[in-house]
Amino acid sequence: MVVLVLGWCAPAQAVTRTVARSGAFDIRATEKGGNLCITLRRERHYQGQECGRIPRSPQRPLSIFPDVGVHNYASAVPPSVRIAETEDRSGKRERHRTFSAPGFSARFVLIPAPPRAVFVRFYGADGTLLGMDAGPEGYIGFHENATPVLGESVTAYTEPRIAPTPDQPDRIATLACIDVANSRGGGGQCEDNSIVLLSSCDGPGIAGGIVAADVVSVRLTLGTGAAFVIPAVALPAVFGGRRAIGAEVPRGEAVREAVALDAAGQGIARTAVGTPPGQSCASADRGDDGFGGYIEPTSPPAGAVVVASAGVGSCTSQLAVSTPQTRPSTVIGAPTVTDTFERWAMPAIVPPCSP
């Protein structure tokens, strides 16, 4: 006679383990279903936590921004990362090993301060540079190269951003940004042909933006249909040839659209804005409205490559264009490099096609 014994097993539970130690610090980790949670502790006291997908790319580590002890660096990285190299603000570099732990798909980086890392580069076992992360000191400099455009209301500045390429995994590009502020708040945008508009219940509106080198002015179409033209002004060389706009918009005026104009006065980029007229300060929203966005090219620039198009009858609707362009990008601690990028146009709006 055969006796079958049926048993019930509880489902496996994710186990939290210590996966890295350095001095008084440790990292505790839990892995389940493709996700990972890591907790930084100092003498068993919580410092910070981060949860997310198990990292697969050296360019996308799972990093903790500590709630306590913000100068300490902790992250999870792919198994290919064997060395983590810190760089402080003086440019000094220091290498640290990464940690493995049984039962975990990632490796772990734990670097208590000092050093106070601005960047952390990742290397493979053979010394190949694989990627870079911002350190806990932060790689973004707030309002670097700040340049007033309209008193204290509109300010242009630069902001570094990690922007790796296959040939340069630790490349840092420089963004050009604009900050616009009035007595009730503010807003900002980065990159070429970006614009910010703020209205106010107790004064004129404020407009500011970053535009490409070939833009000489930006024309706002007001709610009355009148044109309000804002000249673009040159910025220091660190902005890579980009220009800026800044002006007070007539009080109580709606703004329908913004058009970037070239030296011939032709519109080369535009965007719908749609901010309403300024309201009374006694209204529910206190009359404050704003807009932030990008002025899109009105037609493919010279050399554009049509990626996709659809034609019906006698008309063609262009879906997207890709235009390789170059612009200077300042790399911290290295010579100026060229940032090659692609700009995508929005789908063109065309009249109905004839049969």
DSSP per-residue codes, 230-299: EE-EE--GGGTT-EEEEEEEPTT--EEEEEEE-TTS-EEEEEEEEEPPP--TTSTTTT--EEEEE-EESS
**Separation of alpha carbons 330 and 173, rounded Å:** 6
Helix (H) or strand (E) holding 149: strand 144-150
**Separation of alpha carbons 343 and 320, rounded Å:** 10
Given a cut of 60, whether residue 110 has pLDDT beyond it is yes
Given a cut of 80, whether residue 281 has pLDDT beyond it is no
At 3 the pLDDT is: 52
At 284 the pLDDT is: 61
At 277 the pLDDT is: 80
Cα–Cα nearest to 86, from 113, 117, 110, 111: 117
Question: Which bin fits 96, alpha (ψ -120 to 50), beta or left (φ > 0)?
Answer: beta
- Does residue 98 contact residue 55 with C-beta atoms inside 8 Å? no
**Separation of alpha carbons 210 and 233, rounded Å:** 10
**Separation of alpha carbons 310 and 287, rounded Å:** 44
pLDDT class of 298 with cuts at 50, 70, 90: confident
At 14 the pLDDT is: 77
pLDDT class of 333 with cuts at 50, 70, 90: very low
Over residues 243-265, mean pLDDT: 94
Sign of CA dihedral 166, 170, 174, 179: positive
At 215 the pLDDT is: 96
User: Which is more confident, 250 or 317?
Assistant: 250
Question: Which bin fits 321, alpha (ψ -120 to 50), beta or left (φ > 0)?
Answer: beta
Sheet hosting strand 62-64, strand order edge to edge: 62-64, 73-77, 107-111
Which tens digits make up the pLDDT trace of 38-61?
999 999 999 999 999 999 999 999
Sheet hosting strand 337-344, strand order edge to edge: 305-312, 315-329, 337-344
pLDDT class of 183 with cuts at 50, 70, 90: confident
User: Which is more confident, 49 or 326?
Assistant: 49
Percent of the chain surpassing pLDDT 70? 75
Exposure class string for 154-187: b at 16+ Cβ within 10 A, else e:
bbbbbbbebbbeeeebbbbbbbbbbbbbbebebb
Q: How many CB atoms lie within 10 A of CB 346?
A: 14
- Does residue 163 contact residue 260 with C-beta atoms inside 8 Å? no
Given a cut of 50, whether residue 218 has pLDDT beyond it is yes
**Separation of alpha carbons 297 and 270, rounded Å:** 6
Q: Which burial class, exposed, middle or buried, applies to 12 when counting CB atoms under 10 A from its CB (0-12, 13-18, 19+)?
A: exposed
Sign of CA dihedral 72, 76, 78, 82: positive
At 303 the pLDDT is: 55
pTM of the model: 0.68
Least confident range of 91-95, 131-135, 276-280: 276-280
User: Which is more confident, 279 or 160?
Assistant: 160
User: Which is more confident, 319 or 259?
Assistant: 259
Q: What is the DSSP letter of 114?
A: S
Tell me if residue 336 falls in helix, strand or coil: coil
At 89 the pLDDT is: 85
At 283 the pLDDT is: 62
